[in-house]
């Protein structure tokens, strides 16, 4: 059977520039998905909507770690 020539949808790439204000042990919380990302990870400061806060604050507000992995201290 011949293929139709359709290509699979391209994966959405993360923006190349992180939002200003990170570092100092803060995590980036994607406020839409309620997932937080640790400093140095692929989506740290790069999702469309989010904010920086401490990991403790992120957890207290009901957010969860990306892939269930807490940030290294």
The whole-number average pLDDT for the span 38-60 is 96
Domain ranges of the chain: 26-68
Helix (H) or strand (E) holding 26: strand 26-30
* pTM score: 0.76
Instruction: Name the DSSP letter for residue 64.
Output: E
- Contacts with 52 (C-beta within 8 Å, 6 or more apart), sequence order: 19, 21, 22, 26, 27, 28, 29, 45
Over the stretch 9-20, which tens digit does the pLDDT of each residue have?
445 555 668 899
Query: Token digits for 20?
Result: 């200003």
pLDDT beyond 60 at 39: yes
CA 55 to chain centre: 13
Q: Is the pLDDT of residue 52 over 70?
A: yes
Q: What are phi and psi of 38, to 5 degrees?
A: -80, 155
């Amino acid at each position: 059977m011949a293929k139709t020539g359709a290509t699979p949808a391209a994966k959405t790439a993360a923006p190349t520039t992180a939002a200003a204000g990170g570092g100092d042990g803060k995590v980036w919380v994607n406020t839409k998905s309620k997932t937080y990302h640790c400093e140095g990870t692929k989506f740290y400061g790069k999702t469309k909507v989010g904010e920086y806060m401490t990991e403790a604050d992120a957890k207290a507000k009901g957010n969860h770690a990306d892939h269930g992995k807490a940030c290294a201290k």
